[in-house]
Structure 1
Amino acid sequence: MGYACPVCETPQRDGEHLAHHLAFTAMLHGDDHEAWLDERVPDWSERDPAGLAAEVTPHAETAEYHEVFEDTADRGRPDVDLGDHDHAAGGGPGAVGSTGETDPEVTEAIREAREMVREAGGDDDDESDSTASDAAADPSA
């Protein structure tokens, strides 16, 4: 069992997946997901997934979530070569075109997510870079 998104009813595996769904949809598209979060959890963009999950799951209905595993996903289906399709044509927001360019909204969301990770202290590479630049800016360090 999982949770149905209280905005669009899309089933999610658990509370943290629901939190990710709500936050990423709000960041990428704004719309009803952002309004819903702003109304119920005003500081939603500053919360970690577990903290946001604790706030949003009481508002969500439980829903059946069907797990699909790689070893069972293609049972009964013919082999399909996905390499011949143009996924950029009609791929929707975030699709990567044949030129390798991504949707500007996706690029911005990725930038915001990376910044949030840096602020949370979860990106060791960037942390060491900022420590080195801080030391260069302050010779007494």
Structure 2
Amino acid sequence: MGYACPVCGAEQADAAHLANHLAITASLGREDHREWLEEHAPDWGDCSPEELGERVSPHAPEVETPDFESASHGHDHGRPDGLEEGIAQQSRQPGRGSLTAEAEDVLQEARELTKQMQETGGADDDTEGSGAESAHDDTEDNGTEDADDTAERGNENA
């Protein structure tokens, strides 16, 4: 016998799973779950899943859940089963890892544009540097600029 979340109705396998659902959902910013926990278990942040499950399960409707084949109920807490293997299997499915002709063309164009930018990047850097030097040349010996010089260039911070 499992429980339905008293806030959203999501079915949970047991009281500890219900507690985890409520706490995680509240922690992720769902105000309705947080408010429910504040009302029914004000110190919910200090409880273990088992303790919180004991406090919240009486307020949750019981639901029929499938029987689990083992005591571990199909997964280990804290570490998903075969995550890396699951991702690897997904990448071997049709349509994964292969590009369409259009996507290949777009990537090739991006490579060419990047190469052009890198080749001309040195010339652009020199231009920017000379602009900074000329701005420095417009200052007087005491480090202040003439009002006319500032007006001609405009406000560079605008």
Q: Name the TM-score class by shorter chain.
A: 0.3 to 0.5
**Higher Cα Rg: structure 1 or 2?**
2
TM-score (norm 2): 0.43
